[in-house]
Amino acid sequence: MHVARLLHYYGYSHVSQRRAVTFGPDVALAPNVSFRNGANITVGAGSHIGERCLLWAGERATISLGEKALLGPEVFITVANYQMRPGVPVMDQPRDEADVEVGAGAWLGARVMVLPGVRIGEGAVVGAGSVVTRDVPANSIAVGSPARVVGTRDASVSRTPDAA
């Protein structure tokens, strides 16, 4: 019985939902990436989604990855969250949904969590283990829980050590 459940789960999260996702050309996916509500997910050309990532779109809200977006292993992106009305069990709360957008050339490190309504700008980098609760501007470097901007990817600044 356990084997049948595993096969059903795999077929649901890795096969049927994957078929519903809109992929640009040359997208690379690890074999164990999971999708929910795949019809509401778009992955741009040349993007890479790492091992054990989960992209959880909503019934109405969408997830959009720009071209050449890079998701490290175990990235979790969701567009839905429960409301928190007092006196009502969380499971009985209505859900709020809001679109998530990851810009072209953005890089989300290992185990980044992106919450509903967030826009991560083009070329932004989000450090491993960060929880993104609000927008990250283009070409920014954000880290932490909650993620906050700690720098920029300014092309005019050299990242190589000075020669002695």
152 forms beta bridges with 140
Confidence label for 20 from pLDDT (cuts 50, 70 and 90): very high
Boundaries of every domain in the chain: 2-152
Residue 158 has pLDDT above 70, yes or no: no
pLDDT of 1: 63
* Average pLDDT along the chain: 90
Report percent pLDDT > 70 for the chain: 85
Q: Kindly report the number of other CB atoms within 10 A of residue 74's CB atom.
A: 17
Whether the predicted pLDDT of 143 surpasses 50: yes
Q: What's 90's DSSP letter?
A: G
Q: 2-152 maps to which CATH number?
A: 2.160.10.10
Confidence of residue 65 (pLDDT cuts 50, 70, 90): very high
Contact 85, 100 (CB under 8 A): no
Judge whether residue 69 has pLDDT over 60. yes
What is this structure's pTM?
Answer: 0.85
